[in-house]
A = this chain, B = another copy of it.
Amino acid sequence: MAEISKAPLLDHLKEFIAIDPTEEETILECHEAKFYPRKSLLLQKGIISRHEFYILKGCLRVYMIDMSGTEHTLSLNIENWWCGDLKSFINETPASYYIQALEDTQVLQISLANWNKLLEKVPKMEKRFRLSFQNALIAQNDRIIQNISMTAEERYLQYLEKYPHILQRVAQKHVASYLGMTPEFFSILRRKMVGR
């Protein structure tokens, strides 16, 4: 198999901070390329999450299963996004979530040991993580507002505008779950939309 290019990760990081060549090397050393075939699980509830994942190609879904056995999708992630169970990874506690590859997926994954090494050797990564978490936090606020203030139809319409490319790639039932509604109701909403 051809060598996997790790370049997209560096490009991604450079959106946050400047990186010099020595640092580039350290960063790349700390990330391991790995392939996960479609439908495989990268993480299961109860297992300690040993990696955070940067997606080079493919699609990952983070979800939990409630007491009645229903799955709830926390996030749908594609190329150039980070994905993981942060709480489990950082604290080395059993995961609350499952992570599943919805497509054949190529990632760069980092272990906690390497994460700490990286923070130590490249102190400016501290800033990168700060900015990254800061942005994620701002995005999460929007989602919470949506959940508490919008109807299912409004959430659907907003998703349609914001992430049409994801809607095309993943099964509807996963998007329905992400938006907090049943696949049946999602289907009804779609039908209604055709009319307009």
Contact = CB atoms under 8 A, between A and B. Distances in A.
A117 to B, nearest CB: 15
A149 interface: yes
Given A127-B126, A136-B137, A137-B136, A147 B147 contact: yes
Interface in A64-83: 64, 66, 70, 72-74
A interface, over-half SS:
helix
Q: Which of A66, A134, A136 gathers most chain B CB within 10 Å?
A: A134
Contacts of A183: none
Q: Which of A72, A96, A130, A178 gathers most chain B CB within 10 Å?
A: A130
A150 B148 CA distance: 12
Contacts of A86: 134, 137-138, 141
Interface string A141-153: 1011101111000
A185 interface: no
Interface residues of A, number: 33
Interface string A170-182: 0000000111100
A149 B64 contact: yes
A144 B143 contact: yes
Contacts of A35: none
Interface of A: 64, 66, 70, 72-74, 86-87, 90, 96, 123, 126-127, 129-130, 133-134, 136-138, 140-141, 143-145, 147-150, 177-180
